[in-house]
Amino acid sequence: MKTTTKKKTLRWGAMALALAALAGCATTENALKDANTLLQEREADKLLPVTNLSPYSLALGRFGRMLDVYKEGDPVIYMQTRSILDATNLSSPLVGAEIPGDITEMVRTAVNRIGARVVYVPYHPDYLVSQAQLGAKFGVTMPDFLITGALTEFDRAIAGAGRVNSAGIEFGKGNGKTTLGGDVKRTAIYSALALDLNLVSFSTQQMVPQVQASNVVKVLNFSSEDNASLGFYGDAFGFKLEGKYLQGRHSAIRTLVDLSVLELVGKATNTPYWRCIPNGTPDPVVIENMRAAYNGLTPELKLGLVQVTLRKYGEPVQVTQQYDDQTRQALEKVYAQRFASLGAVDVMTWQGFEPLFFGVPMSWDTAQAQIPGAAPAGAAAPAGAKAGT
């Protein structure tokens, strides 16, 4: 009697576990249904064209407006590229064509996003020759700079982490033996893609020293796996749920291209391009180039540059290359409002002029420019800026 009662209990327990497992299957079916709904929505969205923008595409547009401010009156810069290819050979079909083999068009698009002060000059000699044979006449624009480079690194699984949680229970004997188990698995793997770009002077065919961009982007490959099983009376059933999330390598490369072109042209023009990027870090190459250039100027040219910079702050000063009352008042006003914590400075030195140059207001930057020691606008200063003798 006791044995029969025990078997009945085991059977009822097994049925309860089976119902629980079936409920789990229902949950799985709901999850799959939701996944199919999301997939259908995504496929529907694909019917509508969208702008292909990377996180740094807006920064390139901002940089173009920055050049309008810093390079007002300067001649247009003409750019051209050589073919920007894959140097890792992982774009070959023999290894699965994991990355694009030619990203030249991405680089051209990034240069063209900047605006009218940086113009891309196409190079299609076959097309021009064919058109010339038909009687077409062309003007030739020679570029100032040539962009060279390649995809130089693709390291799979540079870092990874995984976690597995498993649990199981077994009870009963013989035909009443029942097992219940499950496990949860999560794996994250990072790969790295690197792009190198260099700038070449077209007239001399020499690389411009220290004007290059070498950046790396990490790509995440995340996978999840959930398993559950139930077995009784020698039979078993279960379910398995898997999911994967893989960031697109092509999209990551476009982000890499946009950032690298921004850095390359920013260095070439000696402008604070990092202000176009949220929480951007000042570039020591640009800072050092400007320091050397400023220290090499005569006192008259320094005062002229100070007056030109003050005009970018909206101060109506005349470029006289003289330290007149108008210039003095404008300097004291700007430094009192924006750089009060610096105290008294001498704008004839680079240390005094640096915050003025790199802190020129931009239309998108409502907060104070990222200058060490800069104070919020409107702060009072015990002393203003002056011109040394």
Query: What is the per-residue pLDDT across 254-276, written as a single tens digit (0 to 9) for each?
Result: 889 999 999 999 999 999 999 99
Q: How far apart are CA 237 and CA 211, in angstroms?
A: 63
Mean of the pLDDT values across residues 343-366?
A: 88
Mean of the pLDDT values across residues 64-78?
A: 93
Residue 243, pLDDT > 90, answer: no
Which pLDDT does position 19 carry in this prediction?
A: 42
**Residue 217 DSSP SS3:** strand
Which pLDDT does position 376 carry in this prediction?
A: 37
Which pLDDT does position 271 carry in this prediction?
A: 94
- Kindly report the average pLDDT of the chain as a whole number: 77
Q: How far apart are CA 111 and CA 120, in angstroms?
A: 7
Mean of the pLDDT values across residues 300-315?
A: 94
**Residue 349 DSSP SS3:** coil
Mean of the pLDDT values across residues 38-57?
A: 61
DSSP summary character for residue 248: -
Using 50, 70 and 90 to split pLDDT, how confident is the model at 77?
A: very high
Which pLDDT does position 92 carry in this prediction?
A: 73
Which pLDDT does position 361 carry in this prediction?
A: 92
Mean of the pLDDT values across residues 103-116?
A: 93
Residue 164, pLDDT > 60, answer: yes
Using 50, 70 and 90 to split pLDDT, how confident is the model at 26?
A: very low
Q: How far apart are CA 251 and CA 317, in angstroms?
A: 47
The pTM (predicted TM-score) of the whole model is 0.71
Residue 375, pLDDT > 50, answer: no
Q: Where are the beta strands (DSSP E) in 13-144?
A: 77-81, 85-86, 118-120
Using 50, 70 and 90 to split pLDDT, how confident is the model at 245?
A: very low
Q: What are phi and psi of 120, to 5 degrees?
A: -85, 135
Q: Which residue has the higher pLDDT, 279 or 31?
A: 279
User: How distant is the alpha carbon of residue 268 from its chain centre?
Assistant: 20
Q: Is the dihedral of CA 47, 52, 54, 55 positive or negative?
A: negative
Using 50, 70 and 90 to split pLDDT, how confident is the model at 58?
A: confident
**Residue 375 DSSP SS3:** coil
Using alpha carbons, list the distances in angstroms from residue 82 to 118, 130, 147, 150, 257.
17, 21, 6, 10, 14
Percent of the chain's residues with pLDDT above 90: 42
Which pLDDT does position 6 carry in this prediction?
A: 47
Which pLDDT does position 112 carry in this prediction?
A: 94
Range of lowest pLDDT (95-99, 120-124, 301-305): 95-99
Residue 28, pLDDT > 80, answer: no
Most confident of 241-255, 258-272, 329-343, 370-384: 258-272
Q: Which residue has the higher pLDDT, 14 or 317?
A: 317
Which pLDDT does position 239 carry in this prediction?
A: 47
Which pLDDT does position 231 carry in this prediction?
A: 62
Q: How far apart are CA 24 and CA 42, in angstroms?
A: 27
CATH architecture of 57-124+140-269: 3-Layer(aba) Sandwich (3.40)
Mean of the pLDDT values across residues 38-45?
A: 56
Which pLDDT does position 366 carry in this prediction?
A: 55
Q: Could you tell me the residue ranges of all domains in the chain?
A: 1-50, 57-124+140-269, 297-386
Using 50, 70 and 90 to split pLDDT, how confident is the model at 217?
A: confident
Using 50, 70 and 90 to split pLDDT, how confident is the model at 389?
A: very low
Q: Which residue has the higher pLDDT, 165 or 131?
A: 131
Angle, alpha carbons 293-299-304 (nearest 5°): 80
Residue 5, pLDDT > 80, answer: no
Using alpha carbons, list the distances in angstroms from residue 202 to 11, 42, 82.
85, 46, 11
